[in-house]
Amino acid sequence: MTKLTVPGIQPLPVFGRTILVSKFVKDSLGFTSQLFQKYGKLVSLARGGSTNLYSPLPNCPGTVFTYGAQNVQTVTSQHEIYHKYPLTGGLYSRRDESPRTEPLKHFGVGLFGVNNDEHRRHRQLLMPAFHQKRIEYYCNTFKEITESISQQIEVNKVTDIAKLMRMLTLRIATKTLFGADIGEKGSKSAELLKQIGILLGNPTTMVFPFDLPGFPFYRMMNLMAELDEDMREIIRSRKASDSDTGDVLSMLIKASDAETGMTLSEDELLGHVSVIFAAGHETSANALTWTLFLLSQHPEVAADLLDELDTVLQGEAPTIEQLQQLPLLERVIKESMRILTPVPWNARATSQPTTLEGYELPTGTEVWVSIFHTHRTPDIYPEPLKFNPQRWETLEVDNFQYNPFSAGSRKCIGAGFALMEIKIVLAMLLQKFRFQCLPQQKITRSALIVLAPKGGLPMLICPQDREFSQGVGGLRGNIRELVELQ
């Protein structure tokens, strides 16, 4: 197997590569920031390769990290070279080991697990469910659930807003994906997905994938089997009813290829549903959490934004037309997703030998593109650590310089859905509540698949009293490395 020649850290003997992998898993952003500073825009996790973080391929030459608009364009535009793989990563290779591992054939697969012509076919089948008019149809769901959550919020009480936003977006995902009629079954599936996600993020699951009692992998297989059973029951029930009830699943069941008439198989439906459900609510929840946090530390921006909301909405939920009249809200969200990118990495694996930044990448090389670091390029974004929504009044960038939803033909199919959801939720919550950080609060980042506050983000939720200077400054933790704070 051809060895990687991309520069990187020389690993120590025996366990050196394992140590480097664990450093990346523990703090992917801080660790790679040091690597980029020392080695440049393309760096190997371990000199000489022989690491495997993501690829399920049997022979992975190693892992490289890169950033910058040019490299984003190269990787996201050459989709025949840079392939995607399921969210289960290396565990996907174990899908044929036994009947118990069969759920790995479809869990977390969806659009991530198909490439080239197959990807184009699947994307065409999914696109009607995320058409602009369909997204507008979901708006009432966004409003109803946000209003329901608002009524449950206890004011003048410290609440974990990361957990609160996950609950909100989870309820939206459940209703828009499955429909309101599945009730407790949807809630159970959501909890199963959450537990599976926790186990997937546990390094022990990857390092010791033993299907034996007591191991995390064994518990994950149990949960996947239970989720499989529930999802198949929902799909079969919906197929039997033979009706479009307005939810995403109904549309996917009825979707057919215009040329061949082919429809999605049950396993393919399971794959798409798990990805849309898991990825959809988690990323939106983190975008909302970080935006509320950033506004809490920038009182002038928060005051100006509330002025805009009050003027246009006058206390009401926004209509589709009114969303177009909220330019500052759009700039705030755009800047928040630039500086605290909800999905910091875009991982691929090469399907054939290629070159990047002048270096040879053998077939099977894992290429992790940092959206996070690309969004902090000083030449494009002066004072990149400053939260400055005003920059978007004049700044013009292309899809490779700014790509929170990735770019190219594999751009997130749910981007329009997520942005409308985030706008409506923020517009409604900010008119009713002020979110305040706690004195000397420590905020630590967690960033592998998503960028989230480690251990949650407790904040004091006050009635909207315009006391925006309260709780500003004095924060601790490595969040201060990511954004300029008082």
Section 161-175 average pLDDT: 90
Residue 161 falls inside a structural domain: yes
Q: Which is higher by pLDDT, 239 or 203? A: 239
| pLDDT computed for residue 173 by the predictor | 86
Contacts of 301 (CB under 8 A, 6+ apart): 295, 332, 387, 389
Section 63-76 average pLDDT: 96
Residue 470 falls inside a structural domain: yes
| pLDDT computed for residue 185 by the predictor | 57
Section 452-476 average pLDDT: 95
Residue 8 falls inside a structural domain: no
| pLDDT computed for residue 1 by the predictor | 62
pLDDT higher than threshold 50 for residue 181: no
pLDDT higher than threshold 60 for residue 183: no
The count of domains in the chain is: 1
| pLDDT computed for residue 186 by the predictor | 58
Residue 1 falls inside a structural domain: no
Section 335-343 average pLDDT: 96
Percent of the chain with pLDDT over 90: 61
| pLDDT one-digit tens code per residue, 129-146 | 888 888 888 999 999 999
Residue 11 falls inside a structural domain: no
Of 208-212, 305-309, 330-334, 394-398, the one with minimum mean pLDDT is: 208-212
pLDDT higher than threshold 60 for residue 407: yes
- Band (pLDDT 50/70/90 cuts) for residue 329 is very high
Section 253-264 average pLDDT: 82
| pLDDT one-digit tens code per residue, 288-322 | 999 999 999 999 999 999 999 999 999 999 999 99
pLDDT higher than threshold 70 for residue 417: yes
Residue 486 falls inside a structural domain: no
| pLDDT computed for residue 187 by the predictor | 67
pTM: 0.93
Residue 199 falls inside a structural domain: yes
Section 266-286 average pLDDT: 85
Q: For residue 148, what is the domain's CATH number?
A: 1.10.630.10
Residue 2 falls inside a structural domain: no
Q: Which domain range does residue 59 map to? A: 16-481
Mean pLDDT computed over every residue of the chain = 90
